[in-house]
Each structure stands twice: as C-alpha cells, then as structure tokens.
Amino acid sequence: MKNRLGILGYPLDHTLSPIMQNAALKQVGMESIIYETLEKNYQELQVTIEDIKNTFLGINVTIPYKEKIMPWMDEITHQARLAGAVNTIRVMDGRLIGTNTDGLGYMKSLKEKGIDVAGRNILLLGSGGAARGVATALVQAKVHRIDVCSRKKAKGKALLDILQSIGGAPGSWIEFKNLIKKDLGIYHLIINTTPIGMYPHDAETLALPYDCLKDNQILSDLIYRPLETPFLLEGKRRGLQTINGLDMLLYQGAASFEFWLDQEAPVEAMRRSLMEALNQLS
C-alpha cells in the first residue's frame, strides 16, 4: 500500500505545504500517509520520477518544474494542458496524471474577498508555471485585458500565445526593465507571480513605478512567506487593497488533496495549520 505524498521543487526551504497537508491527513484519519519534501535538482529528476511512480500516491510540483515536468506525464488534464504547466500529479497504476490547481486556488482566493475580475485590466508579473495557471483561469473569468511582464521575451510571448489560443483578452508583453516607465494606473489588479520577495530573500523588491498607483487598485502576490512582501507593503503604504498568497496556497492544496485521494479536503484544519505555522515563524 503506497503511503507517500510530497512536493517536488528546488529549493523548498520556503514551503508550508507539508505542514498543511499532514494536518489535513490527520484530520481525516489518514495519518498512515506522510506528505514529504522532494528537494531535487534537475539532474535527479529521472530517478525521482521513477521513485514517485513506484512508491507515491501523488505529488505537488513547484518552482522550477511546473513546465519541465510535463514530458514525463502519461496523461494531462484539460486545465493543465490549457495552462501548459502541471502543479499536481496523481499516480494511478504506475501512470502519472498531471493537473493544475493553481488557477482554481487563485480564483477562489479572489472570490473569498469579493473581487470580480470580469471586464478588468490585469498586469501579470512573471511568465512561469504559476503565472500560466493563474492567467488561464483569469481568461476563463472573462477579464478585459492581460499584459505580461517578464525578463524573458520568449516565455512572455509564449504565455500570451496560450491565452490567445483559448480565446483570451488582448494583451502585450512588457520587458521587466521597462516597467519602471509604465503607467500602472490602467490596471485594476497587479499580480506578482515571481519569487521576488520570497523567504529567505524577502528583502528583495520589485522595481515598479509605485507613484503611478491609484487608490482603487489591488496588488496581489502569490508569495505567502512572508505574508507581506515589499511589493505588498508598498501597496499597503498607499492605502491599496493587498492580497497575499496564503489563500491561494490553501485552496490549490485542498484541490490537490481531493485529486489524489477522492476525499473532501478539511479546509479549515488546513487553514489553522498554516496560521499556526506562520505565527511560530514570525
């Protein structure tokens, strides 16, 4: 009987997923299953994936493997195929089934705060795996426009092509170094999907023209450790609504739990475990 779940990424010193998922397993009486970290470099992936096939029920995938892992999948769900990224894998009969719960988790976090993005202009900072999951969900929510800002033009353009292929709103690529010249006042929601400001490098900040921001805008960061990145603190200082990544972590994790185990996730127990962990770390 397989009794392993985990998270694959590199590095993993920031992750709270094991605390959250092990609390969920305990809450539903599945303490025999252990959720662990798989901090592996790229050269170790092939051996790691064979181990996952043979001994795991499923895993989460995080930076930097959400896109890189896809060629190893035996099956990819519609949502992951749309996003071009996998953040959750279930192992069934030795086959790897990849899905993406990032977009679902992000949209649930917005809904909980009463935020409706339909018809709105969005600025997405970053073009990696998390950005892809979030952006495709935003397109499905009928946003008016998504501009993508990234360092690598090819990745930014590739994401915009994906969004256009699923009937997405118009959007342009912006090079990160040119963002400082951009009027950010046209965006209802600005989302940081990059690791800039994440523990243990939480003093790093995004070089943005913060003075262009207007008081009806929302700043959102997918980072949850720390809860207030320099990006969010700049918004808060200007009286803007800010959203950290904790609820996205919670809801994508709950969706992963249900994907692996065909069992309703104990969301409140998961939330409590995250808050307790963050209180201890602060």
Model pTM? Answer: 0.95
pLDDT tier for residue 79 given thresholds of 50, 70 and 90: very high
Helix (H) or strand (E) holding 82: helix 78-83
Q: Is it true that 4-100+247-281 and 103-244 share their CATH fold?
A: yes
Domain ranges of the chain: 4-100+247-281, 103-244
Which carries the bigger pLDDT value, residue 139 or residue 169? 139
The answer to whether residue 66 is catalytic is yes
Could you give the CA distance from residue 66 to residue 269 in angstroms, rounded to a whole number?
Answer: 27
Does the pLDDT of residue 199 top 70, yes or no? yes
CATH number of 4-100+247-281: 3.40.50.10860
Q: Which region among 1-5, 231-235, 244-248 has the lowest average model confidence (pLDDT)?
A: 1-5
Other beta carbons less than 10 A from residue 73's beta carbon: 18
Fold of the 103-244 domain: Rossmann fold (3.40.50)
Q: What is the pLDDT of residue 7?
A: 98
Q: Which two tokens stand for residue 256?
A: 């992963």
Q: Residue 79 and residue 31: Cα distance in Å, rounded?
A: 30
In this prediction, residues 149-172 reach a mean pLDDT of: 92
Name the residue type at position 24: A
The residues, ordered by sequence, that sit 6+ positions from 203 with a Cβ below 8 Å of its Cβ are 230
For 26, 113, 253, 274, 278, the CA distances from 19, given in Å and listed in that order, are 11, 24, 11, 7, 10
pLDDT for 1 equals 67
Q: What is the mean pLDDT of residues 193-203?
A: 92
* Residue 60 predicted with pLDDT over 80: yes
| pLDDT (0 to 100) of residue 190 | 98
Tell me the average pLDDT across 31-40.
97
* pLDDT number for residue 168: 77
Confidence bin at 64 (pLDDT 50/70/90): very high
Mind listing the pLDDT tens digit for each residue in 93-112?
Answer: 999 999 999 999 999 999 99
Computed over every residue of the chain, the mean pLDDT equals 95
Find tokens 């519609």 and name the residue: 78
Compute the average pLDDT of residues 190-205: 93
pLDDT interval class at 159 (50, 70, 90): very high
Span 181-204, average pLDDT:
93
Indicate the pLDDT class of residue 203, thresholds 50, 70 and 90. Answer: confident
Rg, C-alpha atoms of the chain: 18
Model confidence at 282: pLDDT above 90? no
Q: Is the Cα torsion angle 270, 253, 160, 225 positive or negative in sign?
A: positive
Question: Mean of the pLDDT values across residues 239-264?
Answer: 98
How large is the average pLDDT for residues 4-8? 98
Catalytically annotated residue among 26, 66, 157, 177: 66
Instruction: Please enumerate, as own/partner, the contacts of 16-19 that have beta carbons within 8 Å and a separation of 24 or more.
Output: 16/224, 16/225, 16/249, 16/274, 16/277, 16/278, 17/60, 17/62, 17/249, 17/253, 19/273, 19/274, 19/277
